Structure formats: C-alpha cells, structure tokens
Structure 1
Amino acid sequence: MPHIKNALLRFRIIDRALRNSYSPYPTKAKLREACEEALFGSMDGANICDSTIEKDMFAMKMEHDAPIKYSKRHNGYYYSDPDFSLDEIPLNESDIEAIRFAANTLSQFKDVGMFKQFGFAIDKIVDRVNISNDINDKSIERFVEFETPVSSRGSEFLNPILNSIKAGKVVYFDYESFQTQKRKARKVLPLLLKEYRNRWYLLCYDIVKEGIITYALDRIFDLQESEEIFQSPISFNPDQFFEHAIGITASNGKPETVVFKADNIAAKYIESQPFHASQRIVKEGKNKTTFEMTVFISEELIRSILSYGGEVVVAEPELLRTHIIDRIKLMVENYQ
C-alpha cells in the first residue's frame, strides 16, 4: 500500500508541475526532482529514478486520460489540453485510502515541534476525512460548511523562493504597487516566507533599498531565480523581528505600551482571541475590562481595534488615540 500511496502522490506532483505556467515544459529530470523533493526532501535521485517518472506518466495517461505530450521544441513535457487537471477527476478508493493514511499519519505528529504551527490545518484535514466515509459525497456540503479562504495568486513562488532562502541566493521580480498599479523591478535576498490571513508574504533584504522589506506574493510577477550568492551577512531573526508585531507589519522603532478598555462582552472575545501574545488584563471592572499590551503601532492594530466599534476604547498612547479618532471622524463624514 505505501508504494501505491507514493505513486498517487507523485501523480499529483507531476500534474501540478505540468500546469505550472511559470515553469512550463518541465523535463523528466525536473519532474523527478519535484517529486523527490516533495516526498523525501532531497533531489539527488537516491529515492526516485527517471524510469519511475516515465511509468507514472504512462499510468496517468492510461488511468486518467492525462493528455501528456512531449515538446521537442521546448525539450519538455506539457498537457495538450491546458484545462486538464487531476483535481477535476473524482477520487477513487485508492486515492481516498491514501488521503486517510496521510491524514492519520499527520495527526499523530501534529504536536511535534516542527508541525505545531500546522496543527490547525492538520485538524481540518482530519475532520473532513473523518466526517464521512465517502469523501466524494457531495451531500456533505449541504450539512457541513468548512471555512474556505479566498484563494490568491503567488503560491507558485513558494518553492523557488524557499530554495533561494536555503541557498542564500538573490532573486529578481517585478512588484506591482497597490496604489499606482505600476510594476517596478526588485532585486532581493529572500529571508522568510510568512502567511497572514491566508495570504503569503516575503520578508527579504532589498539590495537596492538596503533594508528589510515585506512583499506580498500575490503582487509579485516574473520571479527569476539566480545563481548569485549574496556575500554580506544579513542579521535577521524572525522571532525578534515580529516579537512586537501584529500581523505582517514590523518596525525598526520602539514598541509602545497600549492600554485599552473593552465592554465586558467584547472583553471575553478579546481574552479568548488576543490581539497579541503580550496582551494581559490589568483591571476588571463592573462594566469594562482594561487590557495592556506592548506592540508596534501599525495599520493591522488600528483595524483590529476598530473592528470592535464602540466596544473598545484606547486609553494610551495618545498617538494611537489620535489615529483612531481621525478614522472615526472620517467614517462619520462618509456616512453624512
């Protein structure tokens, strides 16, 4: 059974590689490397050989009618039907058994250090597998609704960026501004990939700007890996960098002590889902609860506080109070 499960996993990896418009016409060697890295964390050919990939592609053609073709012009493989995807094919019993096997295996390790940050995602997979014996049962959607994140582009850059981080190599890309919708070329040393509210961000040292900058992956275009090794060491510790941050925005300045009061109903929600790890209760009154935390003043902080409307009032610092008052005044003007 493990052999069959690995084959099914390889089919999915090959399918994604053939549909990757940012790296079209993968060679047999590239497909083997993609499978080996995803399944074994290496690309040296010790676990998967080229003949295995040949057999996989033949099986995909025979079992799933995959329109795999070879292009002599581009020296690589492709789908003759660009709309084809294994994701559109209903799962068979072997697929379902493989998913159950993987889900149950993951659930055994979700509390292990390297998997703890993925515990919630693992639980969601296990919940879906365990909620019904028939994963293809469409009627489940009428009775159980899982939270579905809005998909955004950019996830195709995760693997090449991660490879560049590991190797300390420079990457190039065009970055589109939210305000002007214009794209500018960037040359950066990738340092960290970070997910926030179902969007991926790249923390990197911008070689031109000479500073650590955050770029959203969904606004990155034409990413190019290079063989250039960045020689100057960059001091970057993610835990320290985000220690006082809320969301994706960090600062080179000093964190502020933020004191705010919340109605007791809102306080229960805020206590169960804190704005920040440093948050603590300093006073519990009859009608209000006072909280304190040490954070950077950021857009994410302001929006989080405003999401509670009049149920939360900032007491300190005065600068944050002023920012929020200005926002409230603008909201009132817009509704008049």
Structure 2
Amino acid sequence: MKKDFYLTRYALIIKRLERSPATYPEIESYLLGSFEFQDANITGYSIRTLQRDIRDIANLFNFDIHNKKKGDNRYYIESRPVMEVDEYNQRLLESFQIMNAVNAQPDFAEFIHLENRTPRGIQNFYDLLFAIRNKKILEFRYFKYKDQTTTSRKVRPLALKESKDRWYLIAKDTKDEKLKAFGLDRISDLTVTKAGFRQEQTINLKEHFKNAFGIMNLEEEPEKIVIRSTKEQAEYLKSSPLHHSQKIEKETDSSVYFAYDLYPTYDFIQEILSFGNQVKVMEPQMLIGKVKEMLKKSVQQYDDPSAE
C-alpha cells in the first residue's frame, strides 16, 4: 500500500459509509473498484489496514466508525461533527483528494489547472497556530496598504480566518484593546514571545463575523439586503451563496430575488459590482445610493481623458 495514498483512502471510506453501513468485504470491493485505486494500481486492501485507517480517521476528521453489535459485522459512522466542523472537514477532504490525485499520478497535472499565484504569509502559519493554541503574545511588523506605512504591532492572537483566498490573523491589539484583522501577506519579522496571556472573556468569533461579509469585523446591526439577479446568474448564486443568510424571496419569469441579513461592507459592495448588469440592488436605499455613486465614479474616470 502506497504511503502517500492514505488521505485518498480516508475520503473513500467516509464516502462509502455515509451511503450505508458496510462489511469489510464490501468496503474492500468499493475501494478496489474505485478509479483512485485503479489509477494507483493498488490491488489489495487488508482488514488490518482498514482498522488502522478507522483509527486515523477518528483522530484527523472527528468521525467515529464502529462495528454493529453481535452477529452484524458492518462498519458504520457512529457520530458526525457539528455543522461548522463538518464543513471544515469536507473542505479538508476535498483538498486532500485533489492533492493526492496530482501526487499519485504526475501526468494528472496535465489535466488539472490551478490558479497561477504565489501564496504569501503562509510561511508563518504554523507559528501563528502555535501562538493561538498556547496563548502567546505575538510581535511583528505590519504594512498598511492605505497609507503605505509599516508599524510595529503587539497582539494577543485569537484565530486565523480565510476570506477570498487570503488568510488573516484575528487578534486583540494590546495598544488599544480592539479586535483587528491582519493580512498574513503583510506581516513580517514575526516573533512568538515567551509571554503568555489570559483571555479575560470568551470572544465568540463565529457570532462576531456572523453578519459581516469578508474579513471586516463590524459591530453595526445587520440589515436586510435584497438583490435582483438574472435567471442565469441566479444559478451560480444558488450553487455558491454569497453569504450563509442567503435565501430566495421570490422568482419571476426573468429574475430571482435574493435576500441577505448582513451589514453592507465595502467588500460586499465590491462583490455586487463584480456581477455587472447581471445583478441589481433593490434595497436598502442607502446601499443603492452607494452602488450608484461608485458606478458613476467608474464611468467618470473613463470619460475624463486627463485622469491618470
């Protein structure tokens, strides 16, 4: 059994048992019949390997897999993680499957085309996770895009958050005790200090970002936002919602109306503008005004030949 193939096995075992309980021979038949095993030229799968895989799955993905009791030797998933962890695990599994497909068969790279971009700031990922878990003060230099300055920061790290293919450190700034987001690609000279800290009160970051779009951590009350989408664009929005609060208000022969419960951040307005004439904001009036103003400025810069 190839050592670099284990993550693919985990994903296939989970996929099979999510469908229904199965005996070892049924699991073995499913795995050996999969395209993944066939492409890797794997012709055997022992019960000892299955038992080891089940233990590893429990540790890595928080899935408990057991045998049925007395006279029924089928394996089944006894417990599943909560929704948030389950979503994380699903994304983790998908990433592992892609990674293993490419690594197991190098010629697959000819058919899989990933974004040509260089991740920045990821080199500090482990150090940041260590500091968060062990509650260690962080010191670093931080570059601000707005005024093109670099300043020294000292923070109490709380979490890492992803937004639009970028990673951010969520931390309490010791200077003003405010909760802030720092782009990992703009952090330099990172030091995990020996000084620890105690969290005086529990911060529910999931609740904090519940009504925000993107990374902006705002305290404002959310608003009801309604957009009208063309039928074609609506299919993309249905398959990949802009926000977890998205719901369909109504449908007509030519349009679909989507409603959201969030604060209209700058990131959200940029997202709406990216749809062009496929999407129109219907409410609130304040947001309509902001979108119109930004569109007007965009047109003006093309009309003004002297604009640099």
Q: Residue 96 of structure 2 corresponds to which residue in structure 1? A: 125
CA drift of 1:128 comes to 5.5
1:142-291 equivalence runs, <5 A:
142=110, 144-148=111-115, 150-231=117-198, 233-291=200-258
Q: Residue 9 of structure 2 corresponds to which residue in structure 1? A: 104
Q: Is the 8 A contact 2:138 2:192 kept in 1?
A: yes
Q: Distance in 1 between matches of 2:233 and 2:260?
A: 17
Change (3 A) 1:180 1:130: closer
* 2:105 equivalent among 105, 117, 135: 135
Which residue identity does 2:174 align to in structure 1? I
CA drift of 1:149 comes to 6.0
1:151 aligns to what SS in structure 2?
Answer: coil
CA drift of 1:223 comes to 0.9
Which residue identity does 1:98 align to in structure 2? K
Which residue identity does 1:259 align to in structure 2? V
Superposition TM-score, scaled by structure 1 size? 0.65
Q: Is the 8 A contact 1:250 1:296 kept in 2?
A: no
1:228 aligns to what SS in structure 2?
Answer: strand
Report percent identity of matched pairs: 27
Q: Is the 8 A contact 1:150 1:198 kept in 2?
A: no
Q: Distance in 1 between matches of 2:86 and 2:259?
A: 31
* 1:295 equivalent among 233, 251, 262: 262
Q: Residue 293 of structure 2 corresponds to which residue in structure 1? A: 326
CA drift of 1:145 comes to 2.2
Q: Residue 47 of structure 2 corresponds to which residue in structure 1? A: none
Q: Distance in 2 between matches of 1:106 and 1:268?
A: 28
Q: Distance in 1 between matches of 2:286 and 2:88?
A: 34
Which residue identity does 1:193 align to in structure 2? L
Q: Is the 8 A contact 1:279 1:293 kept in 2?
A: yes
Q: Is the 8 A contact 2:7 2:96 kept in 1?
A: no
**1:38-66 deviations in Å (ceiling 9; x for gaps):** xxxxxxxxxxxxxxxxxxxxxxxxxxxxx
2:106 aligns to what SS in structure 1?
Answer: coil
Q: Is the 8 A contact 1:283 1:289 kept in 2?
A: yes
Q: Distance in 2 between matches of 1:258 and 1:274?
A: 14
Superposition TM-score, scaled by structure 2 size? 0.70
CA drift of 1:237 comes to 0.7
CA drift of 1:146 comes to 3.4
Structure 1 residue runs of 5 or longer lacking an equivalent are 2-96
1:50-69 equivalence runs, <5 A:
none
The structure showing larger relative contact order (alpha-carbon pairs under 8 Å, at least 6 residues apart) is 2
1:315 aligns to what SS in structure 2?
Answer: strand
Structure 2 residue runs of 5 or longer lacking an equivalent are 15-56, 64-80, 304-308
Q: Distance in 2 between matches of 1:122 and 1:212?
A: 31
Q: How many residues align?
A: 237
2:117 aligns to what SS in structure 1?
Answer: coil
1:180 aligns to what SS in structure 2?
Answer: coil
Q: Distance in 2 between matches of 1:131 and 1:222?
A: 34
Q: Is the 8 A contact 1:259 1:292 kept in 2?
A: yes
Q: Distance in 1 between matches of 2:196 and 2:258?
A: 47
Q: Distance in 2 between matches of 1:288 and 1:244?
A: 25
Change (3 A) 1:161 1:284: same
Q: Distance in 1 between matches of 2:164 and 2:196?
A: 32
